[in-house]
Amino acid sequence: MGFADKVVFVTGAGQGMGRAILQHFGSSGARVVAADINADAAAAAIAGFGANGLALACNVADPASVKSAFEAVAERFGRVDVVINSAGIGSVDAFLDTPDDNWMRVLGVNLTGTFLCCREGARLMQKCGAKGAIINVSSTAAMSGEGPSHYCASKAGVMGLTRSIARELAASGIRVNTIVPGPTNTPMMAGIPDEWMQSMIKAIPLGRMCEPEEIARVAAFLASDDAGFITGQNIAVNGGMAFI
């Protein structure tokens, strides 16, 4: 799948899933924008892409930061064709002991951040006339309920957001879909207690965690013309541990 004429904006691009996605598109010829709250990590993610790469420090939970990021994309490349919302955080909190700040922080990044980037990305797509693709990243936890309440709620919200805006943006030729990964070998997973992680792996029929590159390949498919009639869908990439 060639993306030589496309501009691809990826949040959470400094590590894990986001970095794998960005590098997959960059290796396919796209002009790639690495948006991450860690400016150094964003810069490292685009190393080797030269003029086809742009690194931006962006706090996706902050409307002003997101707006500024897309303004920088418009100034540098004049357009955006693909927006991938991969930024996400979690916190190991029991429901009854969840601090208010943790609830707001997780919802702020995972759900509000996705909303803000969808909105600004769609605005730029419409402005430049791009029949683009927006790809959000949810989690199998949104369906299973296995995980902290704020994380499950935020990822379920992402799926609902996708369905709503897919309907609204279809008239503009903008497709919106969600990738729903199962446990994936990322830095976020490294913070989960080993007993919990092993329990999750046992629940996966394929018997292993997903690798970030496998998510990247699904993202590339959803962004490509091969997926031109797919919108508003949740695509599970979880080794069979749950069915949507």
Q: How far, in Å, CA of 88 to CA of 41, rounded? A: 15
Nearest-5° Cα angle at 183, 11 to 187:
55
* Residue 103 near residue 151, CB atoms below 8 Å: no
Per the DSSP assignment, residues forming a β-bridge with 210 are 184
114 has catalytic annotation:
no
> How many residues are listed for the chain in this entry?
244
Per the DSSP assignment, residues forming a β-bridge with 235 are 179
Active site residue: 35, 133, 151, 241, which one?
151
Q: How far, in Å, CA of 124 to CA of 94, rounded? A: 40
Q: How far, in Å, CA of 133 to CA of 182, rounded? A: 22
Q: How far, in Å, CA of 12 to CA of 101, rounded? A: 21
What is the set of active-site residues? 151
